[in-house]
């Protein structure tokens, strides 16, 4: 079983709350979490609607392995139509909130309409209520979290909420749970804000029903042992977290700096994961629900500020990408974004875009209202413009739309480092051909976690591929996209896949659900999810012409390092990718493909 | 030439890099052995399996280019200036 069997349907317009049976029969085809929620969104929402209108729906979804003792079984997904790309928005978060939604008795929450006033949803097992949120509207994430936990009367209650950025409809606002954990990307926080929904508070004590709990426990023990024995998940991630990548990616000549104008950054060692330890800022590591890896960093700065992070992407977006490497500034900006509910990647890349435009004369000094100059290396600019974005003040109002709309407004979209209008993460496509393709064809736009080809192309896991090779890469991309869809939908963390393979996930899913599907059938479910998301985008008007990268990566060769002279070779790979997917040569989707995968 | 250490290896050794003599024809593996001697600590088995292949997540770069796509530890250092050594690490 593994499912609680009930989902909540909350209409915020009229305040009705319904408890519907979870359509478990769909789980054989769509697994749960990301897959099942996208299926329901497709059934219920017209992909062409305005993402911030009451017609949109916002779905919080757990997977069958959430709230089990499977390693990392605490994750959840937020699925909606996104404001940033205009296509499928889908964001994953860790912590404990996902497990606690199931402990309260529910697999999913579907939020419809728009509340006439700020509210939050309280889910205390059978007692589910929409409550007034006037007193926390406008408040930052930590204060909101503490206030609502106190109000629930349950010390262990978990809060998922938006900050001021979500309220102000910043197009890359995040949803934060347990203060530091983010459903960060694709602007899901803006959709929550558009519904006048500040938070969802969950608590309960229910267990997920597992057909044979003893057999499941034994199975899971073996998977945990595999994770602990792996060099990446057993040693590298616990000791240094994701920030260990700074030097790795820089030394490999693909660490973008100054808005991707350069592919390396000279001050990396001053702000790297190693520096965080050597400077004594890192106090300890910690983990999400049932996580044997524990990659989270707990940091305390010399100024006394404490918090979690920064992750690799954040450290890069708030440092080298902007031309500086002050770890204090980087960490503080990370804390600020968590408090305000801003996606750190999109925020940093948008500021980098503005810096390049300012240096090149597209933005005039008068537009900055006496604010710090938007020049690379000026660390003073970072917290100032983050704040301006979140509150949509001055030029921050335009920055809050993300770099694509911002740069297009000045007639220079070429400075926006985005795919499908979402900002790119911290791997330069000129240095890693497969990962570049992953950005270009990603269903949620520029993004690294939907097919993390850095694992084979750079880290050599599960085997080492040449990052500059193009032959055979699309087969890897195909498999990684499908497998990741299964992992996300199951309720587990993607980092387990450094140690576990497709058979391991199939084993755990079968044992938890009682289904008897082969690994190939689970992977086919992943393929079905990928195609369904693509179909949502096509119906939303995001066509194959968006399967590309910013011009910079084709026209401006890398200037130094091991990839000197290299550009991205997308035209050599895209036709093969379409062919492997079984799509038409122009990237459109034949009806027969949808039928073959059983997508209604 | 310079042999640079990263991640948990840097923390274990307590130094960021050492200089080693590298005559023409020296292999990457031999240069790393010299770096081991220079630090006084053995770390070969943290990086390489019994066949001399780097563990998943570990890597050795010769002026930024991964030796896995050259001749592994037998790759001659040539006129390269830097070897970068990473124990297994990862993230995203
Ligand atoms: S590996 Fe890190 S992000 Fe993933 S569940 Fe564990 S602590 Fe959370």
* Distance (Å) from CA A73 to ligand 1 centroid: 10
The backbone torsions φ and ψ at residue B62, rounded to the nearest 5 degrees and listed phi first, read -105, 110
Q: How near does any CA of chain A get to the CA of B92, in Å?
A: 6
- Chain A contacts of B88, Cβ < 8 Å? 230-232, 235-236
Whether residue B90 is predicted with pLDDT greater than 90 in this model: the reply is: no
**CATH number for position B11:** 3.10.20.30
**Residue B79 placed within a domain:** yes
Whether residue B69 is predicted with pLDDT greater than 80 in this model: the reply is: yes
A463 forms beta bridges with none
Exposure of A583 in the CB half-sphere (CA atoms within 13 A): 22
Per-domain residue ranges of chain A? 6-203, 242-422, 428-596
Instruction: Decide if B57 and A231 are in contact by the 8 Å CB cutoff.
Output: yes
Output b/e per residue, A116-148; b: 16+ Cβ within 10 A: eebbbbbbbeeebebeebeebbebbbbebbebb
**Residue B25 placed within a domain:** yes
Chosen CATH of A428-596 out of 1.10.599.10, 1.10.645.10, 1.10.760.10, 1.10.490.10:
1.10.599.10
pLDDT digits over B73-88, tens only?
Answer: 999 999 999 999 999 8
Which residues have CB under 8 Å from B22's CB, separation 6+?
B1, B31, B77
**What order do you get walking across the sheet with A306-308 strand by strand?**
A282-286, A296-300, A306-308
Output the pLDDT for position A235: 87
Helix (H) or strand (E) segment spanning residue A383: helix A381-390
Cβ of residue A294 closer than 8 Å to a chain B Cβ: no
Output the pLDDT for position A231: 87
Structural domain containing residue B20: 2-86
Q: Are strands B2-5 and B82-86 parallel, antiparallel or unpaired?
A: parallel
- Chain A contacts of B68, Cβ < 8 Å? 460, 464
**Residue B92 placed within a domain:** no
- Domain total for chain B? 1
- Rounded to the nearest 10 degrees, how much is the dihedral formed by the CA atoms of A259, A260, A264, A270? 20
* Distance (Å) from CA A132 to ligand 1 centroid: 33
What does the alpha-carbon distance between residue A82 and residue A131 come to, in Å, rounded to a whole number? 26
**Which of B10, B16, B57 has its CB closest to that of A459?**
B57
Under 8 Å between Cβ of A89 and A188: yes
What does the alpha-carbon distance between residue A255 and residue A312 come to, in Å, rounded to a whole number? 11
Helices (H) and strands (E) counted in chain B, each on its own, are 3, 5
Percent of chain B scoring above 90 in pLDDT = 91
Give the pLDDT means over successive 10-residue stretches in chain A (600 positions).
Answer: 96 98 94 98 98 98 98 97 98 97 98 98 98 98 98 98 98 98 97 98 98 97 97 89 95 98 97 94 94 94 93 97 97 97 98 98 96 98 98 98 98 98 98 98 96 96 96 98 98 96 98 97 98 98 98 98 98 98 98 94
Under 8 Å between Cβ of A361 and A195: no
What does the alpha-carbon distance between residue A311 and residue B92 come to, in Å, rounded to a whole number? 8
| ipTM of this complex | 0.94
Q: Is the dihedral of CA A144, A145, A147, A151 positive or negative?
A: positive
A279: nearest CA partner in chain B: B11
Give Cα B21 to chain centroid, integer Å: 14
**Residue B29 placed within a domain:** yes
The fold of the A242-422 domain, in CATH, is 1.10.569
Q: Are strands A158-161 and A175-177 parallel, antiparallel or unpaired?
A: antiparallel
- Chain B contacts of A242, Cβ < 8 Å? 91-92
**Burial tier of A590 (Cβ tally within 10 Å: 0-12, 13-18, 19+):** exposed
Which residue, among A227, A256, A199, has the nearest Cα to A504 in the 3D structure? A227
The fold of the A6-203 domain, in CATH, is Aldehyde Ferredoxin Oxidoreductase;  A, domain 1 (3.60.9)
Assessment of whether the complete model's pTM goes beyond 0.95 = yes
Using an 8 Å CB-CB cutoff, list residues of chain B that contact chain A: 4, 6-8, 10-11, 16, 54-59, 61, 63-66, 68-69, 84, 86-92
What does the alpha-carbon distance between residue A194 and residue A169 come to, in Å, rounded to a whole number? 7
Instruction: Decide if B61 and A252 are in contact by the 8 Å CB cutoff.
Output: yes
**Residue that is written with structure tokens 């066949």 in the block:** B51
What does the alpha-carbon distance between residue B54 and residue B62 come to, in Å, rounded to a whole number? 14
**Residues with Cβ within 6 A of ligand 1?**
A 72, 94, 287-288, 291, 293-296, 493, 495
Which residues have CB under 8 Å from A248's CB, separation 6+?
A458, A459, B6, B7, B59, B86, B89
Instruction: Decide if A459 and B10 are in contact by the 8 Å CB cutoff.
Output: no
Token output for A232: 């990446």
A159 forms beta bridges with A201
**Which of B11, B65, B92 has its CB closest to that of A562?**
B65
Token output for B57: 């997540």
**What order do you get walking across the sheet with B17-19 strand by strand?**
B17-19, B2-5, B82-86, B59-62, B65-66
Mutate which of A69, A234, A313, A495 for ligand 1? The one with the most ligand atoms within 8 Å of its CB, which is A495
């Amino acid at each position: 079983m593994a499912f609680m069997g009930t989902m909540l349907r909350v209409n915020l317009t009229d305040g009705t709350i319904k408890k519907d049976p979870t359509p478990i029969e769909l789980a054989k085809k769509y697994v749960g979490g990301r897959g099942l929620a996208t299926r329901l969104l497709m059934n219920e929402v017209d992909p062409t609607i305005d993402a911030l209108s009451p017609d949109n729906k916002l779905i919080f979804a757990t997977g069958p392995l959430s709230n089990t003792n499977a390693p990392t079984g605490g994750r959840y997904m937020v699925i909606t139509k996104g404001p940033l790309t205009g296509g499928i928005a889908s964001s994953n978060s860790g912590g404990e909130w996902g497990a606690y939604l199931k402990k309260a008795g529910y697999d999913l929450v579907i939020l419809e309409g728009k509340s006439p006033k700020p509210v939050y949803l309280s889910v205390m097992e059978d007692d589910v209520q929409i409550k007034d949120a006037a007193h926390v509207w406008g408040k930052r994430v930590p204060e909101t979290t503490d206030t609502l936990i106190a109000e629930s009367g349950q010390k262990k209650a978990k809060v998922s909420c938006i900050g001021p950025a979500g309220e102000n409809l910043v197009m890359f606002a995040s949803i934060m749970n347990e203060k530091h954990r983010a459903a960060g990307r694709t602007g899901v926080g803006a959709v929550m804000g558009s519904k006048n929904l500040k938070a969802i508070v969950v608590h309960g004590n229910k267990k997920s029903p597992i057909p044979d709990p003893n057999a499941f426990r034994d199975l899971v023990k073996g998977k945990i042992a595999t994770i602990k024995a792996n060099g990446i998940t057993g040693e590298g991630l616990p000791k240094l977290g994701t920030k260990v990548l700074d030097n790795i990616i820089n030394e490999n000549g693909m660490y973008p700096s100054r808005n991707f104008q350069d592919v390396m950054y000279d001050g990396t060692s001053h702000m790297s994961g190693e520096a965080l330890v050597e400077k004594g800022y890192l106090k300890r590591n910690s983990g999400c629900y049932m996580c044997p890896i524990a990659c989270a960093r707990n940091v305390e700065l010399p100024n006394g500020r404490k918090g979690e992070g920064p992750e690799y992407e954040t450290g890069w977006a708030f440092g080298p990408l902007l031309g500086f490497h002050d770890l204090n500034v980087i960490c503080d900006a990370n804390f600020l974004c968590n408090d305000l509910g801003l996606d750190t990647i999109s925020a940093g890349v948008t500021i980098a875009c503005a810096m390049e435009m300012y240096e090149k004369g597209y933005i005039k000094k008068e537009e900055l209202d006496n604010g710090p100059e938007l020049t690379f290396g000026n660390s003073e600019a970072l917290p100032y413009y983050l704040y301006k974005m979140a509150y949509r003040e001055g030029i921050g109002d335009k920055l809050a739309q993300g770099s694509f709309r911002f740069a297009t407004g000045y007639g220079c979209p070429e400075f926006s480092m985005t795919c499908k209008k979402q900002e790119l993460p911290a791997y330069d496509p000129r240095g890693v051909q497969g990962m570049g393709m992953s950005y270009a064809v990603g269903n949620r736009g520029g993004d690294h976690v939907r097919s993390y080809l850095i694992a084979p192309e750079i880290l050599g896991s599960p085997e080492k591929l040449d990052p500059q090779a193009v032959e055979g890469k699309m087969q890897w991309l195909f498999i990684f996209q499908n497998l990741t869809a299964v992992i996300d939908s199951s309720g587990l963390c993607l980092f387990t896949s450094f140690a576990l393979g497709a058979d391991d996930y199939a084993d755990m899913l079968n044992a938890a659900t009682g289904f008897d599907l082969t690994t190939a059938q689970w992977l086919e479910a992943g393929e079905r999810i990928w195609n369904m998301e693509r179909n949502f985008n096509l119906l939303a008007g995001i066509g194959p012409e968006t399967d590309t990268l910013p011009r910079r990566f084709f026209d401006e060769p890398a200037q130094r390092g091991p990839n000197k002279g290299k550009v991205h070779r997308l035209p050599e790979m895209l036709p093969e990718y379409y062919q492997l997917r079984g799509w038409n040569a122009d990237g459109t989707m034949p009806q027969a493909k949808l039928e073959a995968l059983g997508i209604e | 030439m310079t042999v640079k250490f990263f991640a948990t290896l840097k923390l274990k050794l307590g130094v960021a890099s050492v200089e080693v003599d590298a005559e023409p024809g020296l292999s990457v593996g031999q240069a790393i052995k010299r770096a081991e001697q220079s630090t006084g600590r053995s770390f070969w088995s943290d990086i390489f399996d019994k066949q001399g292949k780097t563990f998943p997540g570990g890597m050795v770069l010769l002026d930024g280019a991964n030796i896995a796509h050259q001749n592994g530890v037998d790759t001659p250092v040539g006129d390269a200036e830097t070897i970068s050594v990473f124990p297994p690490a990862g993230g995203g």
